[in-house]
Chains A and B, each alone.
Chain A
Amino acid sequence: MTADLLWSPFAEFAFMRRALLGGVALACSAAPLGVFLILRRMSLIGDAIAHGILPGAALAFWLFGLSLPALTLGGLTAGLGMAGAAAWVSRRTGLREDASLAALYPISLASGVLLLGLAGRKLDLLHLLFGSALAVDADTLSGMLATAAFSLLVLALIYRALALDSLDPLFLRSVSRIGPFAHAGFLTLVVLNLVIGFQAIGALMVVGLMMLPAAAARFWSRRLPVLLPLAALLGALCVWLGLLLSFYASLPSGPCIVLLAGAFYLISVVAGPVYGLLRSRASIQTV
């Protein structure tokens, strides 16, 4: 009976199956990227880039309407452009990269809103930012699956370089030139996942799916090879349970998924064996 409740919506409705498959694929590729964002002390950069893709998407919408390849290309160009501009400004001025991104993303967001206004046609900004997993069509699903596969493949290829570059960039730079390429490849994957994700569960919601399982996983393991699949698994679980919650309670799917991930995060903060509040520790008493 319970098992039936957990699966029947997906057996019954194709749109639920598409949302599940796309969401799980996105969780599997985005959450491990989130782990690396945290380790590289770039946790807030996903959020900044999610805003940064808006003007590209808006311009694509203005010119081509709701076309998936155009929106993807536009978002990708704007996101990469912003990440590249932030890296360039940091390199030339010495200002930290997160500061440059924080300065550039309101500019991007404002230009995006302005472009949508100029377009004159109505595209729901709320849809672009918060999306709806239940509206994933066959084309979007193919895009999500291809992105997830590509993203995991590239991450596997750059894994060693990225890990060493995150831990000790100076040592890596002394023995190899691969560090900046690994960084650029990694940022490209982040933008790609955000762009493909914003069409499914929305630009801001996909940041939640990228960061929350990653942040939660940190409370359960101190081993990178465990953290990556654990974050992906947590993300996938949140997609599945979030879609069920959304189905049975008639709630919007994106917030359901992200709030469930948020609940997992809060449980981890309290009960996680690594940094959690309840882990045993000696107390120091002041007499």
Chain B
Amino acid sequence: MIECRELQWGAGGRALTPPLNLKLAAGSLTAVIGSNGSGKSSLLRVLAGLDRPLAGHIRMSVARPGGVAYLPQQQQIDRQFPIRLLELVRGGFWGSRLGRSERQARLRQVLADWGLLDLQTQGLHALSGGELQRALLARMSLTDAQLLLLDEPEAALDDSGVDLLWQHLRRWQQQGRTLVLVSHNLDSLLEKRCNALRIARSGCVAAPINQLLDRDPLGRVA
């Protein structure tokens, strides 16, 4: 699905880590962990095709753009932007070939899945941080993308929201989609027993999360 060879990335021409070699299979879920400024979000942006890598190659079996959907950190969204939640979520239909009635049904289903039916006519300014995050995740649910890149998807979500998120992540995995997410919530990742990629100046290590954290308990402050 994705293969990174000798990949280096970073801001201002300065590489953040030694070269990364990584293979991610279709249907895999990988959590990217690491301390602030280690380059987690930058890696996601490079994988999404939003930034160019400094060196190395990325090969992937999906088209960029088109086969990729990216969930930005929610502070990048202007809360005063004059649209309603419904219109934000509908953005996920970009490039979709569904007919009008199918879209309506699908939209309704996704809004219901994320518990947003009652909020669909609210403006962005009236949403709480958690509600906006669920709206952004609902938009991602509408895309057909095979590679989903999520930057801190648990941000601002309450416990039920996090449960809902993980239900969706598992469902997307079962559909054979590849997921890469940046997270600071190590307890939650440990509980879900997912694979992780730890990014640090000293080097990047990919392994099941429990092994990574056993090997370096200090990593828990990541």
Contact = CB atoms under 8 A, between A and B. Distances in A.
Same complex for A and B? Answer yes
A223 B84 contact: yes
Contact of B94 (A39, A176, A218, A227): A176
Interface stretch (A23-31, A67-75, A106-114, A159-167): A159-167
B72 interface: yes
Nearest to B64: A174
A171 B65 contact: no
B83 A174 contact: no
Contacts of A173: 48-50, 65, 70
B50 A174 contact: yes
Contacts of A168: 72, 76-77, 91
Nearest to A161: B94
Interface string A143-182: 0000000000000000000011011101111111100000
Contact size range, B = 20 to 34
Contacts of A127: none
A221 interface: yes
Contacts of A175: 65-66, 68-70, 94-95, 143, 145
Nearest to A164: B91
B123 A171 contact: no
A224 B84 CA distance: 9
Contacts of A163: 83
B70 A227 contact: no
Interface of A: 39, 163-164, 166-168, 170-177, 218, 221-224, 227
Interface of B: 45, 48-50, 64-66, 68-72, 76-78, 81-84, 87-88, 91, 94-95, 123, 125, 139, 143, 145, 149
13 contacts: A170-B72, A171-B69, A171-B72, A172-B94, A174-B49, A174-B64, A174-B149, A175-B65, A175-B66, A176-B65, A223-B84, A224-B81, A227-B82
